[in-house]
Amino acid sequence: MNLASWILRNGRRFGDRPALAHGRDVRATWAGFAEQVAAVAAALRQVHGLVPGDRVALVMSNRPEYLIAQFGAWHAGLVAVPVNARLHREEIAYIVDDAGARLVVTDAEHADDVAPLVHDVASLEAVLIAPGPAWEALTAHAPMPMTERAGDDPAWLFYTSGTTGRPKGATLTHRNLLMCAMSYFADIDAIGPDQGVLHAAPLSHGSGLYGLPHVARGAVSVFPRDGVDGPELLDLLDAWPGLSFFAAPIMVKRLAADPALVAVGPEGLGGLATIIYGGAPMYLTDLEAALAVFGPRLAQIYGQGETPMTITGLSRADHADVAHPRWRERMASVGFPRTDVEVRVVDDDGVELPPGEPGEILVRGDVVMAGYWNRPEASAETLREGWLHTGDIGSMDEDGFLTLRDRSKDLIISGGMNIYPREVEEALLHHPGVAAVAVVGRPDAEWGESVVAFVVPADADAPPSHADLDETCLARIARFKRPREYHLLDALPTNSYGKVLKRELRTRLG
């Protein structure tokens, strides 16, 4: 099936209900959204000469035109390439080139970086700026019928965030994205047309993926006027009750400390349906702070672009089940396998491990990508006998809850012992003087690697002493896991999806 059929269907069924909103303002009804999607599709095919299977890159901030362009591309049988607009010009050029995109849709904010790519990228023929006169002409074009797509046809080239090297395009098919949406209904929220999704995080990543089940059900897609802080969130919840949004843990932490939200607390957030967090570790101390402010309106997901944000999940009900004897362990886990996948933890020989033993996490199911775009070797290495090798290490408990340790490349091996940075980070965060922390390994002639912690103090003028930090660790984890060095930082380096760049921290160690 073609995912654009959701738009046609909702255009008929929910005609004059809001589909796209900017702040409090409705930007398109479902009928209007459907008309514009069919018009853009026709113009891409008939004016720009694109043919089914061609790639259209989207390099823009979150705005209503983004979804019109994305679904317009699908309606026309094209492949969307959502690019993180906050990337450097060279990184954007790399992705547009790698995807062999023939056309880019951008916005005025990014046009200076993107327009010159027509000269630099061989495949690229046109750059359209939306909104703008050329875009208005597109949306006014006579509509075309939807192009049929098979489940295996590519829909979205999802470029990995590149924390480990050059980004690769995970080829997500219409079926993959359909499964991503279906399992959201099964495991996170059923969603109704009276609900909405707030695009508080980039549409090229989690927010775009979780936007799909909302679009499917006729919920409104809401674009914040600017960044999302406490007052903006409260205003949008008032305008659009039943709102959910995806946020990286770093953003949840920021919002949980926002005075406007702390002041109203869980009772004042009746309009909030669910905050879906994931993409990076959520530390227990931060989660407890967030639950105090938002109430049990949090759901965690663990996934990756290769299996669009669908491996395991921790539901709202799990968060609310405070009386469970292992509630804290569960909150520190990434939940249990999603309905549409099988998940295994295996050793280096691919043999499934018993509960409690850490190994690589493997995933199988219809949500798993077709492969990496134009990279047969990387695809063969990652997809073996139908299983996606995630590169993440975790262990499954007796009840089937998965605890993620770390990316395998972040694992520290010191004196022959495995040390998972996350465990050390969780321990250090118990110190009230620690606002944020990242732990990495430094090559060490004697031990193989030694543990180094980068600490962001809560108060830069009164950072915790090394002795204090040591004591905090020793109260919770084995002595050999304790960092040998502590470095103070003003902030941790993160990418725009909120992931800490450990590679950069290791480089700083020289």
Least separation in angstroms between residue 470's CB and ligand AMP is 26
334 sits near ligand AMP (criterion: CB under 6 A): yes
CA–CA separation, 45 and 291 (whole Å) = 48
CB distance 55 to 79 below 8 Å: yes
Least separation in angstroms between residue 404's CB and ligand AMP is 5
Task: Kindly identify the residues of this chain, within the stretch 283-322, that bind ligand AMP according to CB under 6 A.
Answer: 300, 302-305
CB-wise, 139 or 300, nearer to ligand AMP? Answer: 300
164 sits near ligand AMP (criterion: CB under 6 A): no
CB-wise, 213 or 303, nearer to ligand AMP? Answer: 303
Q: Which residues, at least 6 apart from 287, have a Cβ–Cβ distance to it below 8 Å?
A: 298, 331
CB-wise, 6 or 302, nearer to ligand AMP? Answer: 302
Task: Kindly identify the residues of this chain, within the stretch 229-288, that bind ligand AMP according to CB under 6 A.
Answer: 278-281
String marking each residue 483-502 x if it binds ligand AMP according to CB under 6 A: --------------------
Under the phi-then-psi rule, with left for phi > 0, alpha for psi from -120 to 50, and beta for the rest, what region is 295? left
CA–CA separation, 39 and 68 (whole Å) = 10
Least separation in angstroms between residue 65's CB and ligand AMP is 24
392 sits near ligand AMP (criterion: CB under 6 A): yes
**CA proximity to 228, closest of 189, 258, 206, 267:** 258
407 sits near ligand AMP (criterion: CB under 6 A): yes
- Total number of residues that touch ligand AMP (CB under 6 A): 16
CB-wise, 193 or 279, nearer to ligand AMP? Answer: 279
- 289 backbone dihedrals φ, ψ, rounded to 5°: -65, -40
CB-wise, 36 or 204, nearer to ligand AMP? Answer: 204
Least separation in angstroms between residue 281's CB and ligand AMP is 4
Least separation in angstroms between residue 314's CB and ligand AMP is 8
CA–CA separation, 9 and 154 (whole Å) = 21
String marking each residue 341-380 x if it binds ligand AMP according to CB under 6 A: ----------------------------------------
393 sits near ligand AMP (criterion: CB under 6 A): no
SS (H, E, C) 147-204: CCCCCCCEEEEEECCCCCCCCCEEEEEHHHHHHHHHHHHHHCCCCCCCCEEECCCCCC
- The two structure tokens encoding residue 355: 């509960």
CB-wise, 254 or 407, nearer to ligand AMP? Answer: 407
72 sits near ligand AMP (criterion: CB under 6 A): no
10 sits near ligand AMP (criterion: CB under 6 A): no
C-alpha of 392 from chain center: 16
Least separation in angstroms between residue 335's CB and ligand AMP is 8
Least separation in angstroms between residue 448's CB and ligand AMP is 23
Least separation in angstroms between residue 463's CB and ligand AMP is 27
Rounded to 10 degrees, what is the CA torsion of 99, 101, 104, 110? 40
| One of 5, 61, 147, 160 touching ligand AMP (CB under 6 A) | 160
Residues 205, 203, 57: CA angle, nearest 5 degrees: 90
- Exposed / middle / buried, residue 228 (Cβ in 10 Å: 0-12, 13-18, 19+): buried
Q: How many separate helices (H) and strands (E) can be counted in the chain?
A: 19, 26
CB-wise, 243 or 361, nearer to ligand AMP? Answer: 361
CB-wise, 62 or 300, nearer to ligand AMP? Answer: 300
* Helix H or strand E segment including 351: none
CB distance 275 to 250 below 8 Å: no
Task: Give residues in contact with ligand AMP (CB under 6 A).
Answer: 160-161, 278-281, 300, 302-305, 334, 390, 392, 404, 407
